Amino acid sequence: MTDGVSAAEAVPEVREDADAEVIAASQREPDRFTEIFDRYYPEIHRYVDRRLGADAADDIASETFLVAFRKRARYDSGQGPARAWLYGIATRLVSRHRRGEVRRYRALARAADRGAGAATHESHEERVASQATAAGVGGRLGAALASLSPGDRDVLLLVALADLTYPEVAQALGVKYGTVCSRLSRARKKVSAALGGADPTRHTDREGA
């Protein structure tokens, strides 16, 4: 599910309170918020791209920071870096496209089942999905992801794609730590069963902060 660089590695490490300082300063100097945009936009864009494809990534990633800017006065300075907050906003925006995401995963599965020889009969959506294997989602995995409930899929992909810790996922989604654990366990069991015991989403498992 990765391209060799985790989301956490893609962004320079910042002090625990650095983001909070910038967001607080942006109340007086709105242009300061561009520091948050510059720091996190690439990984938020990559996350949305892997879930919905390149066509949606530009708009949703940009909207994530627009929403964050509008809500910056409500940012809790005690919650540490802004990553989880931003991923939570992005995930809620992705949720508006649930049907499209599921169609994309199912199209990947169909394209993989048919193989390259049947490519001439693919719909436009399926051709796009076929090309999306570079995002790390193969055929059987696509079918497995499509079968998950929205909540379980969000937790799984925030861990597998965004490399968030369990507490960060809980913060991003506004749920309890135990809920994250149960959803992740359920999702991984389904994915593993669909893939004959394999689980390519388990590239990282960071329970703590």
57-88 pLDDT, tens digit each? 999 999 999 999 999 999 988 888 999 999 99
Rg (CA), the chain: 18
What confidence score (pLDDT) does residue 141 get? 80
**In 30-165, which residue ranges form alpha helices assigned H by DSSP?**
34-52, 54-70, 83-94, 98-114, 124-131, 139-147, 150-160
What confidence score (pLDDT) does residue 118 get? 47
**Residue 106 CA to chain centroid, in angstroms?**
18
Q: Are the C-beta atoms of residues 139 and 113 closer than 8 Å to each other?
A: yes
The pLDDT of residue 126 is above 70: no
Enter the pTM of the model.
Answer: 0.78
Reported as a single tens digit per residue, the pLDDT across 157-199 is 999 999 999 999 999 999 999 999 999 999 999 988 887 777 6
Write the CA distances from 55 to 58, 104, 203, integer angstroms: 7, 12, 26
